[in-house]
Amino acid sequence: MTTDSDDGFVSSRQLLLLASICCGALMCKIVYDLTRFISPLLFSVYGKLDSKVRMEWNNRGFSTFHAVFTSVASIYFLVISDQFDENVHGDSVINSTTRLSESVMGISLGYFLADLAMIFWYFPTLGGIEYVFHHFLSMFAIILSVTSGQSQFYIFLVLLSEATTPFVNLRWYLDNSGQKGSKAYTLNGIALFLGWLVARILLFIFFFVHMYLHFHQVKQVFPLGFYSLLTIPPALAVMNLLWFWKITKGLIKTLSKAKTSGVKKQ
């Protein structure tokens, strides 16, 4: 039998999630406008860009902000706090949830919704079907976790992979600022390669090893969430590998050009 206090708790959780999603979407709007306002003051090339390129420039502004926010939050929950500490919670880690962790996931949902809306509106300027697929998978996994209160440890592991996004965006900024041949572009390419290797390849290997070693906990997850854990992360891992291959080829090409340019100067 459901009590009034239980109904009140469910209602407050729903309101918190809705407020967090709205905050995430509002955050995107505010950062988008700030990027549009500040960029002409800092980058003379901004005013010379095509309107669609300026739109993507601003979009990548809030994409970068979200990436930094979720990366810091994920490090806090995974490393600093004891929310997922097995020495504290034992086998109940899979069911560990707090208002703060749910709020962070709600903000992330707001970002994905806002970004997805822009992707659809300007399709395919901001990305093709692979970006739509990535966003839908991410949103589906977050929704299952935040509504059930389960598997949040694994959600924050995946959100931590967003740490590579600032490097991706910086590469785009440098490219569209006419600095593709600069030293900064080359250094960012190396940082992107290393960051992707750590945050989207090695981190996912850790994800799968951890899930295998803690499978007795994973089996406690409700059926849809359980099968999602077995399918969505591998799908994201495959996408990460494909993108890593493209990043690697791009880095090799950039380093080759830099080397050739250096030889010619000598």
Alpha carbon of 135 to those of 25, 31, 119, 209: distances in Å? 14, 20, 10, 24
**Is 49 inside any structural domain?**
yes
**Is 263 inside any structural domain?**
no
Q: Are 108 and 155 in contact (CB under 8 A)?
A: no
**Is 32 inside any structural domain?**
yes
For residue 124, cis peptide bond before it (omega within 30 degrees of 0): yes
User: H or E stretch including 184?
Assistant: helix 183-196
Looking at the structure of the chain, the number of domains it has is 1
**Is 262 inside any structural domain?**
no
Give per-residue pLDDT as tens, 55-75. Answer: 999 999 999 999 999 999 999
**Is 259 inside any structural domain?**
no
**Is 22 inside any structural domain?**
yes
| Residues in CB range of 164: below 8 A, 6 or more apart | 67, 192, 195, 196, 199, 200
**Is 190 inside any structural domain?**
yes
- pLDDT attached to residue 155: 97
Alpha carbon of 65 to those of 14, 23, 68, 93, 234: distances in Å? 25, 13, 5, 29, 26
Q: Model-level pTM? A: 0.91
- Cα torsion angle, 29, 32, 33, 34, sign: positive
Regions of the chain where pLDDT drops below 70: 1-10, 258-266
- pLDDT attached to residue 160: 97
Give per-residue pLDDT as tens, 116-164. Answer: 999 999 999 998 998 999 899 999 999 999 999 999 999 999 999 999 9
Range of the domain at 97: 10-253
**Is 258 inside any structural domain?**
no
